[in-house]
Amino acid sequence: MSIEYGLLVDYDYCTGCHTCEVACRKAHADWDGEGNFGIKILQDGPRELPDGKWEYNYLPMPTSLCDLCAERTAEGKPPSCVMHCPAHCLYFGTIDELSKLVAEKTHRALFTPYNE
Amino acid sequence: MNLDYYEKHKGEVEWQDGEYTVTRTTAWSGPGCHDGCGVLYYTKDGKLEKVEGDPENPFNQGTLCMRCLEMAEFVNNPTRLGHPMKRAGERGENKWEQITWDEALDIIEEKVRAIWRDYGPESIVCHIGTGRNNCDQIPYMAHAAFGTPNFSMGYLAGDSCFCPRSASMASMNGDFMIADMSQQFALRYDEENTEWRCPEVIVNWGCNAVVSNSDNFYGHWIVDCMQRGSKMITVDPALTWLAARSEYWLRVRPGTDAALALAMINVIISEDLYDHDFVEKWCYGFEELAEAAAEWTPEKAAEVCWVKADDIVGAARMYAKANPAAIQWGLKLDQTTNATATADAVNSLWAITGNVDNPGGNIIIRNAFDENLSYGYGYQLLSPEMQGKKLGAEFPLLSRAGYSSSAHADSVLAAIETGEPYPIRMVWMTSTNPIANMGADAPRVYRALKSVDFVVVNDLFMTPTAVAFADLVLPAAMSPERNSQRCWWVPNRTMKKVTQYEECVSDDDLVTMVGKRLKPENFPWDDNVGWINHILQYECNDKIPYRTFDEACQQVWAYPEFNYYKHEKGLLRMDGQPGFNTPTGRIELWNSNFALWGYDPVPHFKEPSCSPVSSPKLAEKYPLVLTTGARSFEFFHSEHRQEGTTSRELHPDPLFEMSPAAAAERGLEEGQWCWIENQRGRCRQRLHLNPTLDDRVVRAEHGWWFPETEGAEPHLYGVFDSNINNLIPQCENDDTGFGAPYANQLCQVYACTPENSKEMPSIRVTEVDGYSYEGANRSGNGYEGYPENKPE
Ligand code: SF4
Ligand code: SF4
Ligand code: SF4
C-alpha cells in the first residue's frame, strides 16, 4: 500500500478554535447531526510543568470520517479545514511534501487519515 | 494535484459552481461579531446553503471562525422571527398577533407623534447591541427620524466597551491607535512591498484576542505574527492559549490593570529605557507622568495586582527594549470604575517607548475615506437645545467635551426609573437583548423597562427582552439578507444581499421606512441601495474608488492609502503642521483635556469599588473575586444560543471557572451546577476547574439564555437563571461617567441542591421582588445592609 496524501498539523499554533471541525462538517452536506466531524480537537493542559512553565496544547485529530475532502480537491479546492484554519497551522499535500515540512520544525504531526 | 479553484475565480464577484451561485462579499453581524470578514456565500434557489472564507480578502485571507462557517444554521433557523407582530396578551405572556409592515409603521407613527406632542422627542430612546452593522443606521433613526438625542447601547453601564479607551486615546493623542498587524495594507505581511515590520513583542492585555476578535481586530493576526517571530507578553487573570506561549504571563487581579501599567511605566522611566528622542520631541507632561508613576514600585504593584514583582520588571524591560512592540488591549480595561485612567496608563506605555505610528508598533488609524458616521450620525440635525437634553449631561467628558456621541446608558436607566430630568415614554431596541447581557444589573433593567409605555424590539429571534417588554416585534434581516456597506478603520467593505427570509427587513430599510413616515426631508433616498449611494457620495472623501453601491459590489472592499509617522509629515492636524491633533500638538501624557474638565490629568490607580481591599467586611461573606464576560469561540455575547446549532452542540451549558484548590475547599467537582452569589443576587452555572487561576478568583460566562425552554414569564427562556448580571451593579461609574465594574466584583460559590434551588432566579426576578431591590435608586448599588462597605 502506498499512501499519497496527508494532513500536517503545526500544533505550536493551533488555538483550539473549532474552525476546522465546523469547516469540515460544512464541507460535507450529508454529515448533519451531532458529533459528525471529520476532525476533532484534543486538548492537553493547561498543566504546570516542573520548571513553572505551562503546557497548554491543542491537537486537531482527523477522525475516521475524514476523506481528505476528496470531493473538494477534485474540484481544485483545498481541504476545507486547511483553507479556513485562522492560525494557518494545517497543511495538505503529498506525503513527500509534508515530510519535508515535518523536518523543518518541531511540534509538527503528520496524519494519514485516508487513502483512496 | 492542482488546487487552483479560487485562483481561477480571482477578481470575479459572482459565479456558478454546479447548482450553487457563489457570491464574494463580506459579513457583518448579526449574526457574527465585530469584524466584517470576507466570505463566499453559496446559494441555491435563493437559499443560503454554505459560507466559506474568501481567500482573496486581505482581512481574513480565506479563514473564518466557526460562527460565520455555521451562519446558515441561523439564517435558515425555523425559530427565527419572520413577520412583524404586535402583542396580543399581557407583556411577558409571549402571545402575538401577526400584522403587516404597514400596520406596524402606523402604530409606530401614531405613538411617536403622540409622544412628540405630549412630552417631546427626548422622551424616546433607541438602543442597539454591540458590534452590529446598525451602529450608523439606528443612531440616524434616533436623531433624524425621532428627533431625540438619546441613542445609547442597550444599558451598557459606563459605556464600558471601547468608549473609555477611545475617550482616553482621543484626548491624549487626538486620534485612535491600534496594534499594527499590517491590517491597513491589502498586501498584508509582505515586508518587501510594504513598510510594515513584524512586532518584536506583542502585548495582549485584557482580552483573549484569538477568541474575542474585538474592535475590528482579527485575533489570529497575532498568531500570524508569532509565526513570523513575535514574542508575547500576556496580561490576563487566567492562562489563555496566548499566555501559555508568552515570555511573561502577568496574572493580574481583575480591575487592577492601572497599577500594573503604572509600575511598568515606573520601571521603564527609572531604568532609563524610555525613548528620549520621541518623548522630547513629541510628548507633553513627561515629568508629571514620571512623578505619578514614581510611587508604583514593582513591589507595591505586586501586592496590589497579585503579580510577582520580578515579572513586572521583566515584562516592562522586554516591552521597552523591543523595537517595535505593539499592545493589543481589550474590554477588561474598560470594565472598572477606573477605566479612563487605566487606558491613559497603557497609552502612556506606547508613547514613552516611541511605539507611535511606527511600523509594527501602535499606529494611528482613521476610518477609511473619512467615513465617520457611527453613533453620532445625524446628531447635527438636532437643535442645540435638543442636543443639550442628551442624558448624561452631568458627565462633561461624555457630553460637552464630545468624547461620546451616545447618551449615557446608566443615565437613561435612571431617567426611566425616576422620570428625571424628564420621563422616558418609548424605547426602541434593535438587536440588543439587555436583560441577557450588556445591561449590568439585569433585574434592575427588567424592572425599569416594564414601566415604559411603548417598547419596540427589532431582532433576529424572539428574545427574553422581546417577550418581557415588547409591544411590537419586528423581524431583522441577517447579514446575507442585506445590501449594506461599512467601515471600521480599514478597509471599507460592501455587503451584498443574496437571500431573503420571510418578511425580514434590513436595518437600512427599516430606518428608511420609519424615517419617511416621520421626517421625510431627512430621508431623501428610496431604499437601502439609495441610502448607500448617498453615503458613498456625501459622507466619504473623494479618494473612495466607488460612488455607487453597484460599483462597490464589483470591488467588495477598498483600502485607503496608509502613511506611517503621520505626526512628522503634518498629516494629523487641521492646520497641516507636524504634530498630533491635541491642544499642545504632542501626545499629552499630562492630559490637558482631562484637566480642563476637572479630572486627573495623569493616570492613577483606584481600588475596584467592590473588592477584598475596598470591602473587607463584605469579603468575609463573599471572599472570591469575580470577573465576568470572557468570550468563547461558539458565541457572540448572547447570540448563537439556539438549540440544535453547532454552537450549542459544542458548548451546551454556561460555565464558570475556579481553581481546583478553591473548589476542593468547597467540596465542588468538575461539571457540577453551582450557585454563584453575592450581596446583589445569584445565578447558576456549571463548574469548570481551571488550574491556572489564582485560588481567590472566579471567572463566569455572560449572555446565557435558553431559547429551547419556555419563553413566557416567569421563565423567560431562563434568562435570569444563569445570568451573571444578577450580581453586577448599574449606575456605578468612574467619576468621568465612563467605565463600570462588570469584571471586578465579589462572590461566593456553593453547590446547587434541590432545597436551595426551589426559588430559581427567573421566578425571583419576575414574580418576587428581584434582587437588591430594597432602596434601589440612582446609587442603588446593592450595598444596602452593608453600609460599612459602601465605596466612597
Ligand atoms: S482551525 Fe486551526 S487553529 Fe483552529 S482548532 Fe483547527 S487546527 Fe486549530
Ligand atoms: S481534510 Fe476535509 S474531511 Fe478531512 S478533516 Fe479536513 S475538512 Fe474534514
Ligand atoms: S471574526 Fe469570525 S464571526 Fe467575526 S466576521 Fe470574522 S468569521 Fe465572522
Phi-psi region of B21 (alpha: psi -120 to 50; beta: other; left: phi over 0): beta
User: Does residue B778 have a pLDDT over 70?
Assistant: no
* Residue among A9, A10, A11, A15 to mutate when testing ligand 1 (max atoms within 8 A of CB): A15
- Do the Cβ atoms of A22 and B226 come within 8 Å? no
User: Does residue B128 have a pLDDT over 80?
Assistant: yes
When pLDDT is averaged across residues B508-536 and rounded to a whole number, the result is 98
When pLDDT is averaged across residues B82-103 and rounded to a whole number, the result is 98
Residue A59 Cβ < 6 Å to ligand 1? no
Which residue has its alpha carbon closest to ligand 1 atom 5?
A16
Residue B27 Cβ < 6 Å to ligand 3? yes
- For the four alpha carbons of B458, B462, B466 and B471, in that order, the dihedral sign comes to positive
Give SS3 for B201.
strand
Q: Which domains are assigned to chain A?
A: 5-111 (3.30.70.20)
* Residues B416, B548 share a domain: yes
The pLDDT tens digits for B340-387 are 999 999 999 999 999 999 999 999 999 999 999 999 999 999 999 999
C-alpha cell at B172: 491624549
When pLDDT is averaged across residues B532-546 and rounded to a whole number, the result is 97
* DSSP annotation string for B281-312: HHEE-HHHHHHHHHT--HHHHHHHHTS-HHHH
- Do the Cβ atoms of B634 and A18 come within 8 Å? yes
* Residues B466, B347 share a domain: no
User: Does residue B135 have a pLDDT over 80?
Assistant: yes
pLDDT score recorded for residue B781: 41
* Residues B190, B309 share a domain: yes
Give the ligand whose atoms come closest to the C-alpha of residue B227: 1
C-alpha cell at B347: 497609552
C-alpha cell at B97: 398577533
- Residue B578: cis peptide before it, omega within 30 degrees of 0: no
Select from B54, B75, B96 the last residue of a domain: B75
Q: Is residue B563 part of a domain?
A: no
Total Cβ atoms within 10 A of residue A52: 6
Structural domain including B141 reads: 85-159+369-488+492-558
* Residues B345, B217 share a domain: yes
* DSSP annotation string for B476-496: BPPGGG--EEEESSS-EEEE-
CATH number at residue B379: 3.40.50.740
Interhelix angle B286-294/B257-270, rounded to 10 degrees, is 110
pLDDT score recorded for residue B760: 95
- In contact, B334 and B743? CB cutoff 8 Å: no
> Which of these, B263, B268, B346, B269, lies nearest to B305 by C-alpha position?
B263
Q: Inform me whether the C-beta atom of residue A23 falls under 8 Å from chain B C-beta atoms.
A: yes
Q: How far, in Å, from the CA of B292 to the mean position of ligand 3?
A: 40
* Residues B155, B239 share a domain: no
> Which of these, B38, B438, B65, B51, lies nearest to B219 by C-alpha position?
B65
Rounded CA separation A86/B763 (Å): 43
Q: What is the mean pLDDT of chain B?
A: 95
Rounded CA separation A29/B703 (Å): 30
- In contact, B556 and B25? CB cutoff 8 Å: yes
Tell me which residues of chain B, numbers 315 to 334, contact chain A at a CB-CB cutoff of 8 Å. Answer: none
> What are the chain B neighbours of A37 within 8 Å (beta carbons)?
none
Residue B461 main-chain phi, psi, to 5 deg: -130, 165
When pLDDT is averaged across residues B539-552 and rounded to a whole number, the result is 97
Rounded CA separation B529/B239 (Å): 46
> Shortest Cα distance from B691 to chain A (angstroms)?
7
Predicted structure pTM score: 0.97
> What are the chain A neighbours of B17 within 8 Å (beta carbons)?
75
C-alpha cell at A5: 496524501
> Which of these, A106, A108, A4, A21, lies nearest to A62 by C-alpha position?
A21
CA count, 13 A, side-chain hemisphere, B629:
29
Q: How far, in Å, from the CA of A16 to the mean position of ligand 1?
A: 5
What ipTM does the predicted assembly reach?
A: 0.98
User: Does residue B775 have a pLDDT over 80?
Assistant: no
Q: How confident is the model at residue B772 (pLDDT cuts 50, 70, 90)?
A: low
Interhelix angle B507-518/B528-538, rounded to 10 degrees, is 90
- Do the Cβ atoms of B220 and A76 come within 8 Å? no
User: Does residue B792 have a pLDDT over 80?
Assistant: no
Total Cβ atoms within 10 A of residue B398: 28
pLDDT score recorded for residue B383: 98
When pLDDT is averaged across residues B137-165 and rounded to a whole number, the result is 97
Q: Inform me whether the C-beta atom of residue B4 falls under 8 Å from chain A C-beta atoms.
A: yes
- Do the Cβ atoms of A58 and B241 come within 8 Å? yes
* Residues B288, B195 share a domain: yes
- In contact, A75 and A11? CB cutoff 8 Å: no
pLDDT score recorded for residue B774: 43
Give the ligand whose atoms come closest to the C-alpha of residue A84: 1
pLDDT score recorded for residue B783: 41
Scan for cell 501599567, then name that residue.
Answer: B261
Q: How confident is the model at residue B574 (pLDDT cuts 50, 70, 90)?
A: very high
CATH number at residue B57: 3.30.200.210
pLDDT score recorded for residue B37: 98
Q: Which among B60, B63, B692 has the least Cβ separation from residue A46?
A: B692
The pLDDT tens digits for B454-468 are 999 999 999 999 999
* Residues B484, B552 share a domain: yes
End-to-end CA distance of chain B: 70
> Shortest Cα distance from A80 to chain B (angstroms)?
9
Q: Is residue B80 part of a domain?
A: no
Question: Domain total for chain B?
Answer: 4
Percentage of chain A beyond pLDDT 70 is 100
Q: Is residue B568 part of a domain?
A: no
> Which of these, B142, B138, B84, B154, lies nearest to B508 by C-alpha position?
B138
C-alpha cell at A38: 471529520
pLDDT score recorded for residue A29: 85
Q: How confident is the model at residue B777 (pLDDT cuts 50, 70, 90)?
A: very low
Which residue has its alpha carbon closest to ligand 2 atom 6?
A81
pLDDT score recorded for residue B567: 98
Q: How far, in Å, from the CA of A102 to the mean position of ligand 1?
A: 18
C-alpha cell at A31: 454529515
Q: How confident is the model at residue B131 (pLDDT cuts 50, 70, 90)?
A: confident
* Residues B523, B427 share a domain: yes
CATH number at residue B267: 3.40.228.10
The pLDDT tens digits for B278-302 are 999 999 999 999 999 999 999 999 9
Give SS3 for B321.
helix
- Do the Cβ atoms of B63 and A5 come within 8 Å? no
Q: Inform me whether the C-beta atom of residue B218 falls under 8 Å from chain A C-beta atoms.
A: yes
* Residues B522, B437 share a domain: yes
Strands B745-751 and B673-677: antiparallel
C-alpha cell at B781: 448599588
User: Does residue B136 have a pLDDT over 80?
Assistant: yes
* Residues B427, B311 share a domain: no
Give SS3 for B173.
helix
Buried b (16+ CB within 10 A) or exposed e, B90-126: eebebebeebebeebbebbeebbeebbeebbbbbbbb
User: Does residue A9 have a pLDDT over 50?
Assistant: yes
- Do the Cβ atoms of A83 and B55 come within 8 Å? yes
Amino acid at B502: E
Q: Is residue B389 part of a domain?
A: yes
